[in-house]
Each structure stands twice: as structure tokens, then as C-alpha cells.
Amino acid sequence: MTEPYFVTLFEQLNQRAARATISDRKPSLEVLREYLRLQFEREGGESGSFLGQPVFEALFEYESQPNPLSNLDFLHVKTVELLDNPPKEHRDRRFAKSLHPYKHQVEAWNSLKAEPCRSAIVSTGTASGKTECFLIPILDDLVREYSRTRRPLEGVRALFLYPLNALINSQRERLAAWTAGLNGGVRFSLYNGATPERVPQAKADAAPEEVLCRRTLRENPPPILVTNATMLEYMLIRSIDQPIIEKSKGKLRWIVLDEAHTYLGSNAAEVSLLLRRVMQAFEVEANDVHFVATSATIGGNESVPHLREYLADLAGIDPARVDVIGGRRVTPNVDTAGIFDKPLPLIGGYLKGTQRTQLFIRFSLRT
């Protein structure tokens, strides 16, 4: 019998994580390195192993829109083309025009394209396409502006705030995939403490869609800036970063707050005051900016008015201009007659079976 794909995946993760950790710590004694390797690479969950047992969580599909992406007439034809046909190296980020978006994604797109300007808090589960809820309307907005001017956009139009650098870096491939087709017309930059002051010109020329260094970011700020609250704070007060703001005044119209559940208590108050300073520095009114907050851990029908007020207070806007958007899962019809009387087939400690299902695999580090 062929082993399920996750058996080899777990073994590879265990081995690579263990060896990377040993390599990072660099123990000088060869015998110690070998001992640690043998201990860490033991099967997950065993005493001394690096990883715990994997946890498998079934993810149901969400309700889909009846029409495919290509039939949504409120998206610019160029936007659909960029999503459907990314560069070869980013083919796994393709959002095919034949796909049927989730209903909550289309609901978010309609909300964020409405006039007058509206904001949204997107509260749906893991792997429900939350990023597409805000990234596609932002991309569509910038594509339309670029199509009108036919000149590369300069100045920040969209500001993405993430609480962790790992989350900032996770957006690079998606943004590169969906903006590369514009040949630098719509660019982005990931601005955190690791952003270099400058890069070789050949490296910059190889990726015209991304601003890779601080020097170019200040000389020619891109329309999409992905950063964190700390770097944004620095950008507001450091004179060296003032060119970014000067060239972006009056242009900011999108602010995205990812992992909104992390903004609580004093942290929420600090971010709220920071956003008001951003409005002042960029010389825009809060009512002219689309605020988008996302989270997979807050929601529920009874929480809708509270979520609306939460984002309104955070952004300083009228709660009536905030839409709360949640996904609806589709529970498959399963004939359960007699199946609960049968034991699960276990071989070698791993679940075996031929039925395919969408799985979210969570690995925990042993401490």
C-alpha cells in the first residue's frame, strides 16, 4: 500500500528542522552533534524528538459564487489577466479566471468598491481566502489608475500592517505574482528592519515589481507598502524617511490591518493613535480611506455590531460605513450509516485511507 503523502512530509519536516537547529547552534564537538541529530530526528512525539505528533484538522469548503472570476464585470480585464496568468516562477499563485470565488470574497470586493468609501472587517476561518478579500480590490484599484495614466505609480496608496515580520515576508510571492505583469507599473515594498539600505542594480532590475532597498523606497515610493507598526512609527518621525511621506501626500486610500485580534487593550489604543497620525502626515481624511481588518479567530453573528464598532473606533470612522463579512462553510453530505462502528485503520502509527479530504496540518515544537 502506498503511504499517504503526509507521512513522508512529516519525516522531512522533522529531519530538516532538527538539522537546521543543530546547524544554527553549531556545537563544536562532533560526537555532540551526532547525538543531538539522533535524538531530534526520532519519530515525532517520542521522548527527545524535535517535533510533537502532528495534529490533523479537517477544513470544509466555503460557499462559492455561482459565476467564475472572468464573469465578474466589476473587475478590470487587466486585473483578471494578472491573476490568471502570473509569471512561470509563480504559477502556484495563479487565481484562475475559471475559478468560482467564495461568496464572502465577492461580498468583500463589492463592499470595498462601493461609493462613498466603505471599510470592512473580514472574519473567516483558516484557508478561507482572507488575503484575496482585500488584495484583489486594491490591485484592481491600482490597475485602473495605472491604465488611466500609463505611467508607473509613485507614492503610497495602500499600507499593509502586519504584526510579525514572517507575515510581512509571506506576502512577497503573492504580490510579485500579481504585479509582475505590469513591468513596474504597480510596485510593492516589504519594509522592516531587515530591508537593506541598497542592493546591486542588477538585482533591482531583475524584479522591477518590487522595491528591494530603502534608498529606492525613499527616492520613488511604491503604491503598496507592507510593514509593521514599529517601522511605520519610525517612518513618521525619521527625517531620512520623510521623502516617502512627501511623495505620498494625498494619495493614501487603503489601510489593511491583518490579524486584527492582536490589537487589544493598550496595543489597540497605540495603533488607533498611530493611524490618526498617519492620516495627518499623509494629508488624507479617514472617511476617504478604506480600512480593512482581518482575523480568523474573531466572529459570530452575535458579535457583528461589536466588530463594526471595533474597527470604527480603531480607524476613527462612522460605524455605519463598516461592513462585517464572514464566510459560510459548506458541510458535505456524508452517509454515516455504520461507519462509527468500524475502527480507524492505523498502520505504523499513521492514519491510512483512500478517501481524499482537505487537511490542515499543524506541527508543534516540543519544549
- The string of DSSP codes covering 315-335 is HT--GGGEEEE---B-PPP--
What Å distances lie between residue 357 and 61, 103, 332, CA to CA?
10, 21, 11
Least confident of 44-53, 76-85, 230-239: 44-53
CB neighbour class for 91 (10 Å; exposed up to 12, middle 13-18, buried from 19): exposed
> What average pLDDT is seen over the chain?
87
Work out the average pLDDT over 54-77. Answer: 86
The span from the first CA to the last CA of the chain, in angstroms, equals 35
**pLDDT > 90: percent of the chain:** 60
CATH of domain 69-325: 3.40.50.300
Q: Is the pLDDT of residue 58 over 80?
A: no
Q: Is the pLDDT of residue 180 over 90?
A: yes
Work out the average pLDDT over 335-348. Answer: 62
pLDDT at 77: 95
Those residues with Cβ within 8 angstroms of residue 62's Cβ, 6 or more apart along the chain or in another chain: 102, 103, 104, 124, 128, 129, 327, 328, 329, 330
Stronger pLDDT, 185 or 11, i.e. the higher one: 185
Structural contact between residues 244 and 218, judged by C-beta atoms closer than 8 angstroms? yes
Q: How many C-alpha atoms does 44 have within 13 Å on its Cβ side?
A: 24
pLDDT at 353: 39
Which amino acid would we find at residue 272? S
Stronger pLDDT, 140 or 59, i.e. the higher one: 140
pLDDT at 228: 93
Residue in 185, 188, 156 with CA at minimum distance from that of residue 171? 188
Stronger pLDDT, 56 or 128, i.e. the higher one: 128
Least confident of 29-33, 101-105, 240-244, 287-291: 29-33
| Most confident of the ranges 42-56, 84-98, 294-308, 351-365 | 84-98
Distance CA 127, CA 248 (A): 33
Structural contact between residues 70 and 80, judged by C-beta atoms closer than 8 angstroms? yes
pLDDT at 168: 85
pLDDT at 265: 87
Residue in 263, 199, 187, 260 with CA at minimum distance from that of residue 226? 187
Cα-atom radius of gyration of the chain, to the nearest Å?
23
Q: Where are the domains of the chain?
A: 5-59+331-362, 69-325
Stronger pLDDT, 266 or 179, i.e. the higher one: 179
